[in-house]
Structure 1
Amino acid sequence: MMGKGVGLKSDICDSLPGLKGLCEWLEGHINNHTAVSDIDKDKFGITETLRGTHWRGKDCDDFDKTVYPGRRPKNNDEETDSDCNGIYGINPATGKTFEEDYCANSDHRGVLLLSDSAGAHFHIPGEWMTASKLSVDVFKHVLMVVEDEFDWPELSGTTGYMNTTWDIVHGLTDSLYYQLVQRNRCNHRDFQNIGVNGARAEKINTIAHSMSRDPNTDHPAIVMYSLIGNDVCNGHPDTIAHMTTPEQMKAYSLSSLKYLDTRLPKGSFVIVTGMADGRVLYELMANRIHPLGQYNQDITYKHVYDLLSCLQVSPCNGWMSSNETLRNYTSERAANLSKALQEVVQSNKFMNFKPYYIDYDIRTVIKEWEDMGGEGWQMVEPIDGFHPSQDANYMTAKHVWKQLETTYPEIIGKVNPNNDAIYKQFGDQGGY
């Protein structure tokens, strides 16, 4: 897992005049989880990778820090598009701005994700480690993959906005953000994925500082606080000693929620999710053949799990283990941490947002996939045997959206009756 920041300090950075400054600048952006290409320093960029538009809505004017996705429009966007949703100008039929006619009375919601590698959608292409599929062609997007930290937020279950156009990731995309735009096209481009590989509750306060939301000038937001594994997952031989305790989880999460209360506009929502029951990994994967062993049919996921533990690089000794007692203990701790999160949500009130707690019910999501004709193992990333796959992201998004529609409709707001008119006037609203 890549969780504690990426260091660039080396002899190379120190050897050439001017290069040290460049390394420090790049390292700062990487470790702050903000766009490297961001001229006006508003945390929104114009290039896809390096925490750019794959991660956050595209900045429509990178020379003006008061123009960015999610802000309340300046002068109702009479002449220019200040909130980057592609809607601006005067409506000749009414004499008002299009923002006033189409968006003023809609329930604008941005989507912000504070999460780990699962939320960022960590994915190592299976083709890279499958002998029968190796070719120069499967590595043609390697630079993009590296620049996005092996994450695919543009295809994720919270901020995904496109179906894959690459032949090294497979499956459909659905997300909370995508559904919100279908519900209200005024929400276009208002998303931020601040998912960080290896993130734990202790670090979310620091990670949250990468968020861009002004309580005075911006629209309300839906924040997903979702840490599904790293507080019980680690590669240490004494893995239990490095798990977060329920008392720590309460303290860390409450501190993060209090920080969010200082940054979010009034009328926002924070959805805190529980942790996964990761025992499903071993149940689904242990006896299956790993891509590394497909040629001779001789390497199972159990072999890979054991090797990763031996090398002390396992993303989760507690669940990726042949020790059933340890797997059960890890899930028991995860359940206790989920209970701690639920107690924090239920026992605290905040000025600017209403908190909600929902379970991360991976077993129900898998069952829904199987009821559609799929197989449970397809919900797990094929190379690491740990992260949710593209199919899992798709199904989890559908599951969560249905839950919000039926149980918490106030979070997602009403359908904008002007959606068709917006599309007719502005098309894809500038795309992504």
Structure 2
Amino acid sequence: MQGNDVCNIFKETVGNMTKPEVFRKNVLETLNILNSKLPKNSNVILMGLVNADFIYDAMADRLHPIGTLHGNVRYKDLYNWFNCMQIGPCTGWLNSDRLLRETTTQRNINVPDLLEAVDSLHPNQRAQPMLTNVVWTSLLNLPENVLGPINKYNKINKIALWKSRRTLVYLHL
């Protein structure tokens, strides 16, 4: 469990996190829906999301874009305001309370250059190709019996992998 399962806007953030049994139920329901909708012999890959515990320490003292004019708004100021107003993207991780950040992590490169400047939680455009490269490279290096052959029932005529700036691009042609 990570990401939206532990991120919420509530002051009582831990009590509002997705419970493990609810998470499991939701995943199984989603897999059942996919099983009924996808072409037969399709594969579904599940992967964990970011453990965002590192974000507060990496970003707290950096100047936020809205504070650039006067140099007076740091990410920690924005996080505190978000939490006060109960509108932040992730109270548990974007919080000055280290114990709360560690508790959130238990439930669940250069960091500032890879995060979206506005919310400092999601990967930015620079990080997306890196993530794509890591995922596709990992998939391509799996033994063939793990994913099996290309599914003949999918409407894909050709799959091309191009190396462009060390990034793999997956094309449906």
Give the Cα separation in 1 of the matches to 2:100 and 2:72.
26
Question: Which residue of 1 is the match for residue 51 of structure 2?
Answer: 277
Question: Which residue of 2 is the match for residue 399 of structure 1?
Answer: 134
Question: Which residue of 1 is the match for residue 147 of structure 2?
Answer: 411
Contact residue 59 and residue 75 of structure 2 kept, 8 A: yes
* Structure 1: segments with no counterpart, 5+ residues: 1-226, 335-366, 368-374, 420-431
3-state SS of 1:317 partner: coil
Structure number with greater CO (CA < 8 Å, separation at least 6) is: 2
Give the Cα separation in 2 of the matches to 1:418 and 1:273.
22
Give the Cα separation in 2 of the matches to 1:418 and 1:390.
24
**What amino acid maps onto 1:257 in structure 2?**
L
**What amino acid maps onto 1:261 in structure 2?**
N
| 1:403, distance to aligned residue in structure 2 (A) | 0.6
3-state SS of 1:321 partner: coil
Deviates more, 1:300-309 or 1:260-269: 260-269
3-state SS of 2:7 partner: coil
**What amino acid maps onto 1:397 in structure 2?**
T
Contact residue 82 and residue 88 of structure 2 kept, 8 A: yes
**Pairs aligned (count):** 154
Give the Cα separation in 2 of the matches to 1:389 and 1:417.
29
CA RMSD of aligned residues (A): 2.4
* Structure 2: segments with no counterpart, 5+ residues: 151-156, 161-172
Q: Structure 1 residues 412 and 388, CA, compared in 2 at 3 Å: closer, same or farther?
A: farther
**What amino acid maps onto 1:287 in structure 2?**
D
TM-score scaled by length of structure 2: 0.80
Question: Which residue of 2 is the match for residue 316 of structure 1?
Answer: 90
Contact residue 8 and residue 90 of structure 2 kept, 8 A: yes
Question: Which residue of 2 is the match for residue 97 of structure 1?
Answer: none
Contact residue 234 and residue 314 of structure 1 kept, 8 A: yes
Q: Structure 1 residues 411 and 243, CA, compared in 2 at 3 Å: closer, same or farther?
A: same
Q: Structure 1 residues 258 and 418, CA, compared in 2 at 3 Å: closer, same or farther?
A: closer
Deviations 1:160-213 (A, max 9, x none): xxxxxxxxxxxxxxxxxxxxxxxxxxxxxxxxxxxxxxxxxxxxxxxxxxxxxx
Question: Which residue of 2 is the match for residue 244 of structure 1?
Answer: 18
Deviations 1:225-268 (A, max 9, x none): xx851111010111111101111111111111112111122110
Runs ≥4 in structure 1, deviation > 6 angstroms? Answer: 416-419
**What amino acid maps onto 1:411 in structure 2?**
L
TM-score scaled by length of structure 1: 0.34
| 1:417, distance to aligned residue in structure 2 (A) | 8.8
Q: Which has the larger radius of gyration?
A: 1
Give the Cα separation in 2 of the matches to 1:236 and 1:390.
29
Contact residue 60 and residue 74 of structure 2 kept, 8 A: yes
Q: Structure 1 residues 418 and 240, CA, compared in 2 at 3 Å: closer, same or farther?
A: closer
